[in-house]
Amino acid sequence: IGSAIDLSKVPTAINRVDAAAFENTHSLSAVNAANKTIPSVTLSNQTGNDFEPDLQYRGFGASPLTGAPAGLAIYQNGVRINQALGDNVHWVFIPTE
């Protein structure tokens, strides 16, 4: 959904957090839904702001902190939402509705 690439042709594991994940987990954010539905996802709080957690997945991270090790590409509706410089992900800018 939202991608021109057939997911069966992508040579890696792909995890999606869709509307069903939000409904099943009663989560209000994509990060919390991912934490509850995708195996190996862990959250930490480096900034002290619960709305901007660090997401770790099998040794790779997505963080709002500049300079934090990155490695995960985060997409919303087929569009990458990591910032161009530093790969920062500001989770608060992802709409909840």
Following CA atoms 43, 27, 66, 59 in sequence, which dihedral angle do they give, to the nearest 10 degrees?
40
Rounded average pLDDT over 59-68: 82
The structure tokens listed for 32 are 């919390």
Task: State pTM to two decimals.
Answer: 0.69
Residue pair 18/25 in contact by the 8 Å Cβ criterion: no
Report pLDDT for 86. Answer: 67
For tokens 């660090």, the residue is 54
What's residue 13's pLDDT?
Answer: 78
Q: In the chain, what percentage of residues exceed pLDDT 90?
A: 2
Question: What is the structure's pLDDT at 26?
Answer: 87
User: What pLDDT is recorded for position 14?
Assistant: 80
Q: How much of the chain, in percent, has pLDDT values that exceed 70?
A: 91
How confident is the model over 36-53, as a mean pLDDT? Answer: 85
Residue 3's pLDDT is what? 58
Amino acid letter, residue 86: G
